[in-house]
Chain A
């Protein structure tokens, strides 16, 4: 009976040891993933991936499930753990699905941007990168086979410049400030400079706060 809880505590210790900051728990990783899920849902562009957190959580779930087998299927404890696992799974799937959708919609744009970042700073995980490339070449093949090859030579070129679909970074988002932030420039007919108090909520153009979302100072809601 105690095994499952031991596993969770072991994993928690494992996290604490392996992270330089210390004090990282399974609970905080879960919260990070939830925050990442919300940010990804509401941000118009694709955000830096959280694969480390996702992998860590999937491992936790996996160990938990393995150990639950010994508990017996009907036991209340295993049912409760299973419910929680389902909830976590939902968040992770929704998060990954949201990212895949963005990759499909903005494939060309995302790959161009990724190419300009170093491998370390890439926004896509290696699996996502592979998916994006495969997807784009499939689309190119489709266009070519279906339409382009039948057109006069002059029009056959796959014009990357004009065909790239870009996300609307001026889209408006709802957000909450996690700490006091000063000097945010809100674009408009006249650019305005505003400060956000800790805990305050706002609606503003995403472009004004993109960096702050990526570094965690702002949470999209």
Chain B
């Protein structure tokens, strides 16, 4: 039975890497030499101020970081006021993965921007997660739920749903088949005999 830990992004976390790949609308503020190729509609060698681009978060963040940013960012619409109203009304009714598969993770990254819309963002994410958890739990505990439904959930909820569902399946299986207990596989049984004699050897 392997370690089962909840999602916590680290350097190697693929989901986090993918979340930072999500794109934002940006507007270039300064001229950037030789990056003209990033704007497909322009012929110029340089990136001109005023150009609108869709950039991945990791690049947009670097461009926006300093006091004199190279580009300004526009918060994705689903983190803005109007969509917030929708979420407050009934978060469970929304198919969040359609807005963004990495709704929560991307939201946490976006919240780092120094932008008025970002202030309330973490609070919104927490509130949404809390109100939707009931849905996730009910789906996971109900055997009749179609497992394909997981694709309607954003990544964070999906992971929890799938792990909950797996433990439910194990329980149902156990109810039906009954214990049967834990048996040594043949491979280990033979392996063990060798190892034990080495252990005893070392002891002496």
B5 contacts which of A58, A62, A167 (Cβ < 8 Å)? A167
Is the pair A94, B1 in contact by a Cβ cutoff of 8 Å? yes
CB proximity of B147 to chain A, nearest CB, Å: 26
Contacts of B196 in A (CB 8 A): 62
- A-to-B contact residues, CB < 8 Å: 41, 44, 58-59, 62, 86, 89-90, 94, 98, 101-102, 105, 162-168, 171
Residues of the B chain whose Cβ atoms lie less than 8 Å from the Cβ of A62: 196, 200
**Selected contact of A168 from candidates B8, B12, B199, B203, CB within 8 Å:** B8
CB of B82 closer than 8 Å to a CB of A: no
Assess the B200–A44 pair: CB atoms within 8 A.
no
Does B6 contact A98, Cβ atoms closer than 8 Å?
A: no
Contacts of A90 in B (CB 8 A): 182, 184
Measured as residues with beta carbon below 8 angstroms from the partner, the interface class of chain B is 10 to 19
The residue of chain B having its C-beta at the shortest distance from the C-beta of A86 within the complex is B184
Alpha-carbon distance between A109 and B203 when the two chains are bound, in angstroms: 31
Alpha-carbon distance A122/B199, docked complex (angstroms): 23
Q: Are A58 and B199 in contact (CB under 8 A)?
A: yes
Which listed residue (A44, A86, A102, A165) contacts B12, Cβ 8 A?
Answer: A165
A166 to B2, Cβ gap below 8 A? no
- Once the chains bind, are A171 and B5 in contact (CB under 8 Å)? yes
Secondary structure class of chain B's binding surface, majority of residues: loop
Confirm or deny: B11 has a beta carbon within 8 angstroms of a beta carbon on chain A. Answer: yes
Q: How far is the CA of A94 from the CA of B12 in the complex (A)?
A: 27
Q: How far is the CA of A86 from the CA of B189 in the complex (A)?
A: 11
SS class, residues of chain A in contact with chain B: helix
Tell me the complex Cα distance, A19–B86, Å: 66
Chain A: which residue is nearest B182 at the CB level? Answer: A90
Q: CA A163 – CA B12 in complex, angstroms?
A: 8
* Neighbouring B residues of A167 by C-beta, 8 Å: 5
Interface contact B11-A165, CB-CB below 8 Å = yes
Contact A98 B200 (CB under 8 A): no
A168 touches B6 (CB 8 A): yes
User: Do the beta carbons of A102 and B3 come within 8 Å of each other?
Assistant: yes
Tell whether A98 pairs with B10 under 8 Å between CB atoms, given A62-B200, A86-B184, A90-B182.
Answer: no
Residues in A with CB closer than 8 Å to B200 are 62
Docked pose: A98 CA to B182 CA in angstroms: 16
Q: Are A101 and B184 in contact (CB under 8 A)?
A: no
